[in-house]
Amino acid sequence: MGPGDLSALIAPLLEETTPSENVLVGPGTSDDAGVYRYGDAALVATADFITPVCDDPHRFGRVAAANALSDVYAMGGRPLFALNLCCFPTDSAPRSIFAEILAGGLDKLRESGTALLGGHSVRDAELKFGLAVVGRADPGKLLTNTGARPGDRLLLTKPLGTGAIINGFRGGQLSQEDLEPALREMEKLNDVASELALAHGATACTDVTGFGLAGHALELARGAGVSVRLHVRQLPVHDAFDRACAHGVSTRGTRDNAAAANEISGIRTMSSRDRQLLFDPQTSGGLLITVPEKPARTLLADLRARGHHAAIVGEVLEGPARLRIA
Ligand code: CO
Ligand code: CO
Ligand code: CO
């Protein structure tokens, strides 16, 4: 699920759908994926596609697949199988480019142990690629948006800033060298982070994508009726984000996210750079995890030992549901 939230349009339709006791997570909690009980297991279902984030079609395919798979990991699931979703400008670009995108996607499916079952393609003026993914989870160990408890620590597993960096690269203000570290992070699966979160008793989890860190932190706050405090100085950030800001680069998503953000205190006294950072839409972003205070340090150490630029970025307080910026 992503930006341009259409939930207000979809809500009336949901009341008319057949309710099922097998729906464990539906569209009502802004979760990363839907979850359906199937026998003893829980099936986790999601779909996601994106526009290009770089010039290399193979690497774009890798990022798009990692981004789509991430919603399964953010629920505490493991992907089982996937379908390609292709909107390709086949009239204006050579077919070899699309073959490269698909090969990049397949790279990540192999790495994650996900079977490709097929897909669907349409001709489209604007290139988009992604996946519909079905995964499996333990119904007793789902990482939804509703489990955060006062006293929990908040961890983030990847640096922020990809929205402004991608736009800066597209607009020529940033170089391929500037983009490279962000690209490597966007290609990275959230599989290990999800595994470690489950192993350390995480109470809630979501991946940081189109609504930016502030938007997704608010989802965790609303889901559990708690208040979330974020420490801006502790946020992991790509160096190139500040270079993008210095060039005045922002994104449409940043504006939309800031306009949609209610229930946030401390925002008026922030620098414009910090505000840009909090609302910057992420592609294939990290997991935002809440975990009790005790295991938070060991979770952080394990994440770092496995190559994650992770940090403890805040804590969960008593409600009402809001976000406090410190
Ligand atoms: Co999504
Ligand atoms: Co998500
Ligand atoms: Co989740």
CA 95 to centroid of ligand 2, rounded, Å: 30
CA 231 to centroid of ligand 2, rounded, Å: 22
CA 319 to centroid of ligand 1, rounded, Å: 26
**CA-CA distances (angstroms) from residue 210 to 19, 113, 123, 205, 276?**
29, 26, 25, 16, 13
Say whether pLDDT at 1 is over 60: no
Q: Which ligand is nearest to the CA of 215?
A: 2
Residue 206 contacts residue 145 (beta carbons within 8 Å):
yes
Residues near 189 by beta carbon (within 8 Å), at least 6 away in sequence: 66, 69, 70, 73, 108, 111, 112
Say whether pLDDT at 4 is over 70: no
317, β-bridge pairs: 227
Helix axes 176-187, 57-73, angle to 10 degrees: 40
Neighbours of 269 (CB within 10 A): 8
Say whether pLDDT at 19 is over 80: no
Query: Per-residue pLDDT averaged across 186-211, rounded?
Result: 98
pLDDT score for 20: 84
Relative to beta strand 322-325, strand 264-265 is parallel
CA 96 to centroid of ligand 2, rounded, Å: 30
Query: Per-residue pLDDT averaged across 60-72, rounded?
Result: 98
**Cα–chain-centroid distance for residue 115?**
22
User: pTM for the complete prediction?
Assistant: 0.94
Token couple for 326? 């410190």
pLDDT score for 187: 98
CA 246 to centroid of ligand 2, rounded, Å: 29
CA 186 to centroid of ligand 1, rounded, Å: 14
Confidence of residue 267 (pLDDT cuts 50, 70, 90): confident
Query: Per-residue pLDDT averaged across 202-217, rounded?
Result: 97
pLDDT score for 9: 77
Q: Which ligand is nearest to the CA of 67?
A: 1
Measured between alpha carbons, how far is 243 from 218 in angstroms, rounded to an integer?
27
Neighbours of 243 (CB within 10 A): 18
Q: Which ligand is nearest to the CA of 3?
A: 1
Residue of 98, 239, 240 lying closest to 167 (CA atoms) = 240
CA 46 to centroid of ligand 2, rounded, Å: 9
Query: Per-residue pLDDT averaged across 78-102, rounded?
Result: 96
pLDDT score for 160: 98
211: amino acid identity, one letter: F
Give the percent of the chain with pLDDT over 90: 88
CA 280 to centroid of ligand 2, rounded, Å: 15
Query: Per-residue pLDDT averaged across 273-302, rounded?
Result: 97
CA 125 to centroid of ligand 3, rounded, Å: 33
Q: Which ligand is nearest to the CA of 224?
A: 3
Say whether pLDDT at 10 is over 90: no
Q: Which ligand is nearest to the CA of 47?
A: 1
CA 76 to centroid of ligand 3, rounded, Å: 7
311: amino acid identity, one letter: A
CA 285 to centroid of ligand 2, rounded, Å: 9
pLDDT score for 105: 98
pLDDT score for 260: 86
CA atoms within 13 A on the CB side of 139: 13
Measured between alpha carbons, how far is 95 from 93 in angstroms, rounded to an integer?
7
Residue of 311, 251, 252, 242 lying closest to 274 (CA atoms) = 242
Which region among 1-5, 86-90, 129-133 has the lowest average model confidence (pLDDT)?
1-5
Token couple for 51? 């526009």
| Protein residues near ligand 1, an ion, with CB under 5 A | 1, 48, 71
Is the link from the previous residue into 320 a cis peptide, with omega within 30 of 0?
Answer: yes
Measured between alpha carbons, how far is 169 from 14 in angstroms, rounded to an integer?
40
Token couple for 193? 């982070």
Most confident of 22-31, 244-253, 267-276: 244-253
pLDDT in tens, 95-124: 999 999 999 999 999 999 999 999 999 999
pLDDT in tens, 142-160: 999 999 999 999 999 999 9
Measured between alpha carbons, how far is 300 from 16 in angstroms, rounded to an integer?
44
pLDDT score for 18: 64
pLDDT score for 16: 64
CA 75 to centroid of ligand 2, rounded, Å: 9
CA 32 to centroid of ligand 1, rounded, Å: 6
CA 205 to centroid of ligand 3, rounded, Å: 4
Say whether pLDDT at 3 is over 50: no
Q: Which ligand is nearest to the CA of 2?
A: 1
Please give the DSSP secondary-structure letter assigned to residue 248: T
Residue 113 contacts residue 154 (beta carbons within 8 Å):
no
Measured between alpha carbons, how far is 280 from 165 in angstroms, rounded to an integer?
10
Dihedral sign computed on CA atoms, order 59, 65, 71, 73? negative
Say whether pLDDT at 2 is over 60: no
